[in-house]
Amino acid sequence: MNLYDALIKYKEGNADEWDVRRACDDGVVQIQTASKKNIGKSLVSLKFNRDEYIELFSDADKEDSNNTYLMRVAIGGGHYGDVFIDSGYFSDEEWNEGYIFQHFSKENEEQFISLVRQINPSLLDSKDQWGRYEQELFSTMNEAYNNEISQISYEYAELYDQCLVEGLREYVQGRTCDKFSLYGIYEKTCARQYYTTIDILLSMWKRTETPQDEGILKVLKNLADQSNLLIDEDLYEDYYNYYDSKNFDQESFDRVVKSNLDKIQEKVDEQNEEGDLVKNREIYEKISKLNYKFGVWYDLPTKKNYGGQTNQVFKLERVEKGKIELMRKDKGNYYNAKQSKMSFEDFLNYLYHPELFN
């Protein structure tokens, strides 16, 4: 016996609530409260699992989209890690471009600038056309204090992704929650539990022109389709539109920034005590005058005093304890990179005589 027939028989007094349950293979429909005066007005409960409810609003023509996964995230209530962005890549890019700095509180912004002034004040001299600090400032600080800056940038990336997820939830739930009340099916918990009556439920087969041997999920799927409730766009496309600053946990971000800036300050104080900071600052300024930036791969200068390798490239990483730390490798070879520490004088020799450092 199918569900439609079971409901008819129940209304006629020829079946009980267990007959209705057995006829509903998916377990969605249960008789909640029987009405003795008018059986057709008996209260019926509709209980869904998450995937059943998602399927009601999914467009069958969009099977290759990300919608099923994203709707699970939106309706499931949990967080699934990196949903929209790759936190590792995103955090580095956003930091080095200076975008994360724009989310610093005023207090953290002032502390960061104070740190830069102690380490290499020349980094504060250049700004772009919008008045923002140049990328060199952020990449240099990242290289010099990678552990602390990575903590800040990764926290930002995670909070940014969570913010997008909250925006997604608001959008998807706005498109799927309480959408059947117009037809007499009332929501108790979005995507989980709904109430209606036997008469209203039976009318749905006719309203949606669904064959009577089909179950309730097919009936509601047709109702959603005929009511233009299906989500037919790719929810991943233009995902940045889900961003809303009210969903960004600024308080948590401020705490992480403050904690890591304090750790950097401790390191700076220690370097000051050991006399290294003055040496480091002098080297930073000399490198700046040579127009080299940290975190960028450079070819060796083309003019050389005598023969030797000409295909080597190098990247300045940081200045620590009066020494320049850099990576060097043969151009086009990603597997032979070597890390070196050298004084500024040795760095000048390396630029024009790299063969001396093999």
Distance CA 300, CA 314 (A): 7
Mean pLDDT of the chain: 89
The answer for residues whose C-beta is within 8 angstroms of residue 169's C-beta and 6 or more apart is: 73, 74, 75
Q: CA-CA distances (angstroms) from residue 158 to 82, 92, 93, 168, 176? A: 7, 12, 14, 15, 27
Span 1-36, pLDDT tens digits: 899 999 999 999 999 999 999 998 788 999 999 888
Q: What average pLDDT does range 191-201 have in this prediction?
A: 96
pLDDT at 334 (0 to 100): 66
Residue 94 has pLDDT above 50, yes or no: yes
Q: Could you tell me the sign of the dihedral formed by the alpha carbons of 86, 91, 96, 101, in that order?
A: positive
Q: Is 48 left (phi over 0), alpha (psi -120 to 50) or beta?
A: beta
The answer for residues whose C-beta is within 8 angstroms of residue 261's C-beta and 6 or more apart is: 108, 111, 112, 115, 148
How distant is the alpha carbon of residue 238 from its chain centre? 13
- In DSSP terms, 328 is beta-bridged to 314, 338
Q: Of 31-35, 183-187, 251-255, 256-260, which range is least confident?
A: 31-35
Contact between residue 196 and residue 47 where contact means Cβ atoms under 8 Å apart = no
Q: State the DSSP code for 90.
A: H
pLDDT at 204 (0 to 100): 97
pLDDT at 63 (0 to 100): 58
**Predicted confidence band of residue 305 (pLDDT cuts 50, 70, 90):** very low
Helix (H) or strand (E) holding 313: strand 312-320
**Predicted confidence band of residue 41 (pLDDT cuts 50, 70, 90):** very high
Coil, strand, or helix at residue 324? strand
pLDDT at 246 (0 to 100): 96
Residue 60 has pLDDT above 90, yes or no: no
Answer with the residue of higher pLDDT: 337 or 290: 290
pLDDT at 222 (0 to 100): 96
Q: What average pLDDT does range 118-125 have in this prediction?
A: 83
Q: What average pLDDT does range 281-304 have in this prediction?
A: 84
pLDDT at 274 (0 to 100): 78
According to DSSP H, which parts of the chain are helical? 3-12, 17-23, 50-57, 67-76, 87-96, 106-119, 135-144, 146-176, 198-208, 216-226, 250-274, 276-289, 344-352
Distance CA 145, CA 265 (A): 10
Contact between residue 30 and residue 228 where contact means Cβ atoms under 8 Å apart = no
Q: What pTM did the predictor assign?
A: 0.79
Q: What average pLDDT does range 214-240 have in this prediction?
A: 94
Distance CA 346, CA 353 (A): 10
Q: Of 15-29, 216-230, 289-303, which range is least confident?
A: 289-303
Distance CA 68, CA 46 (A): 22
Span 107-116, pLDDT tens digits: 999 999 999 9
High-pLDDT (> 90) share of the chain, %: 60
Q: Would you state the structure tokens that stand for residue 325, as one six-digit string? A: 């730390």
Instruction: Please give the angle made by the CA atoms of 268, 270 and 272, to the nearest 5 degrees.
Output: 70
Among 231, 228, 201, which Cα is nearest to 217's?
201
Helix (H) or strand (E) holding 193: strand 193-197
Q: What average pLDDT does range 211-237 have in this prediction?
A: 94
Q: Of 7-21, 308-322, 337-351, which range is least confident?
A: 308-322
Contact between residue 10 and residue 31 where contact means Cβ atoms under 8 Å apart = yes
Residue 77 has pLDDT above 60, yes or no: yes
pLDDT at 272 (0 to 100): 83
Span 152-188, pLDDT tens digits: 999 999 999 999 999 999 999 999 999 999 999 999 9
Among 52, 68, 60, which Cα is nearest to 215's?
52
